[in-house]
Amino acid sequence: MKYAVIGAGWAGCSAAVELARRGHQVALFEASRTLGGRARQVSVHGLMLDNGQHILLGAYKATLGLFDTLKLRQDRVLRRLPLQMCYPEGSGGMVFAAPRLPSPLHMLVALIRATGLTRADKLALARFSSAARWMDWQLHTDCTVAELLDRFDQTDNLNRLMWHPLCIAALNTPAHRASAIVFLNVLKDSLGSRRAASDMLIARTDLTRLLPEPAARFVEAHGGTVHPGCAVQSVTRSGDQWQLVLPATHPAGPALADQRYDGLVIATPAETAGHLLTPFNLASHIPRFEYEPITTCYLKYPPGTRLSRPFMALAEDPGRHAYGQFVFDRGQLDGHAGLFAVVISGSQQAIESGHAELATRCAQQLATDLKLPELTHPEWSQVITEKRATFACTPNLQRPTHALPLPRCALAGDYTQSRYPATLETAVQSGIMAADCVAGDHESINESRF
């Protein structure tokens, strides 16, 4: 059968690979010239970097399964690090690093060895984990993460150094607005599962080369086609098939204009999906989301400049204009020696004074926290803000199903129904679920597979 997949972010790539894997012929359309959507390569000062620093988790079963399908060796493309939350020494933070021991011993030992936490902090953390395990990480009624932490008597220090940074990193939503149920789902699959699931995985290449390009090669090798720079304008029904309206200016536009497809996966962002579905009176299937920005600040230093670890947590303190939450040493990850990436999730306030000012502040924060005054003056800096990085993951958020009341047509995207917030894993899972909905050959997948 012939399928069209609209959008080559990680959701669209995943849907396209799943359909091709099942023996179908796939045409993958992407509006941008670069594949990968919100997890893609960008050229900065002649270097191939990312639109935003990403972390994957060992718990990302669907994503790691997709790497296997594409025959990508995980150890070649990803750097696997044990769970850690380590602040620079003397910056008022903590050092919490899980050793390579079976679960839950790894957490216990990390807790005992942790520095920067008081006895009361450690007891509160132990209480939280055992209560959460006892509840099987589930809540009957959703509330905010801040309310959840309050209910479990978590200390201010623990909230500041561990829970709030984890919440903003995982859900891109501050604890006082974030969904406790979704937060617990992420904790259950990472902290509450086998040790490898809590590992942190960081790409050794840029994000487009990591997955979208191998996915495109897989689709082509299975008889499909990939069309970057080709924004689908609208979709129509033609008999019992689907037809796409493509830009007349695209070189492949005229040749593809008459193509018919047996099925369709819409893997664009939510708003575009709503627009494509408007002629079918289905725009209301997709709710309006609120969005949160994420900012990545690249700072380039001489090649010998290194962090003591591949990445570190930073103490966010808007009072002193210190907005950085994590810093990654790209030299230890993908070989860009001397290049640091400072990450700020939920970056609304941080970007208010403009990108140039923010770069200066990030460099100052590194210089102060790492006690290396020379970091105040990078050779160059580049700030990238993704204004609509992810939807705000608030309590009781309604997310649309993959299945649509249209023949062989489904939605994929990180905003679709999932236990997870907007992540690469959600996107990849959604692609597989959408492919399953439209394929009709029923290898029969349900979410419990992930």
Ligand X SMILES: Cc1cc2nc3c(=O)[nH]c(=O)nc-3n(C[C@H](O)[C@H](O)[C@H](O)COP(=O)(O)OP(=O)(O)OC[C@H]3O[C@@H](n4cnc5c(N)ncnc54)[C@H](O)[C@@H]3O)c2cc1C
Nearer to ligand X, 410 or 422 (CB): 422
To ligand X, the closest distance from the beta carbon of 427 in angstroms equals 4
**Helix or strand or coil: residue 121?**
helix
Q: Which of 280, 276, 278, 251 is nearest to 265 (CA)?
A: 276
Distance, in Å, from the CA atom of 302 to the CA atom of 296, rounded to the nearest integer, reads 20
Chain centroid offset of residue 173 CA = 13
Q: Which of 345, 350, 343, 337 is nearest to 312 (CA)?
A: 343
419 C-beta neighbours (distance < 10 Å), count: 15
Distance, in Å, from the CA atom of 344 to the CA atom of 362, rounded to the nearest integer, reads 10
Nearer to ligand X, 192 or 212 (CB): 212
To ligand X, the closest distance from the beta carbon of 409 in angstroms equals 15
Q: How is residue 97 annotated by DSSP?
A: E
To ligand X, the closest distance from the beta carbon of 119 in angstroms equals 32
Q: Which residues contact 277 (CB under 8 A, 6 or more apart)?
A: 266, 283, 285, 286, 404
Distance, in Å, from the CA atom of 425 to the CA atom of 11, rounded to the nearest integer, reads 9
To ligand X, the closest distance from the beta carbon of 411 in angstroms equals 10
Q: Which amino acid appears at position 74 of this protein?
A: Q
Q: In this structure, are residues 114 and 147 in contact, taking their beta carbons and an 8 Å threshold? A: no
To ligand X, the closest distance from the beta carbon of 355 in angstroms equals 14
Nearer to ligand X, 232 or 277 (CB): 232
Nearer to ligand X, 42 or 111 (CB): 42
Q: Which of 98, 24, 93 is nearest to 57 (CA)?
A: 98
To ligand X, the closest distance from the beta carbon of 356 in angstroms equals 19
Nearer to ligand X, 107 or 203 (CB): 203
Nearer to ligand X, 129 or 190 (CB): 190
Nearer to ligand X, 205 or 268 (CB): 268
- Residue ranges in contact with ligand X by CB under 6 A: 6-12, 29-32, 37-39, 51-52, 54-56, 231-232, 267-269, 272, 294, 296, 386, 389-390, 413-414, 422-425, 427
To ligand X, the closest distance from the beta carbon of 6 in angstroms equals 5
Q: Is the peptide bond prior to 104 cis by the omega test (within 30 degrees of 0)?
A: yes
Nearer to ligand X, 54 or 111 (CB): 54
To ligand X, the closest distance from the beta carbon of 35 in angstroms equals 7
To ligand X, the closest distance from the beta carbon of 32 in angstroms equals 4
Q: Which residues contact 212 (CB under 8 A, 6 or more apart)?
A: 8, 9, 10, 13, 35, 36, 40
Distance, in Å, from the CA atom of 329 to the CA atom of 305, rounded to the nearest integer, reads 9
Distance, in Å, from the CA atom of 94 to the CA atom of 279, rounded to the nearest integer, reads 54
Nearer to ligand X, 180 or 294 (CB): 294
To ligand X, the closest distance from the beta carbon of 171 in angstroms equals 10
Q: Any alpha helices (H) in 193-258, and if so which ranges?
A: 207-210, 212-221, 253-257
Q: In this structure, are residues 403 and 440 in contact, taking their beta carbons and an 8 Å threshold? A: no
Nearer to ligand X, 126 or 351 (CB): 351
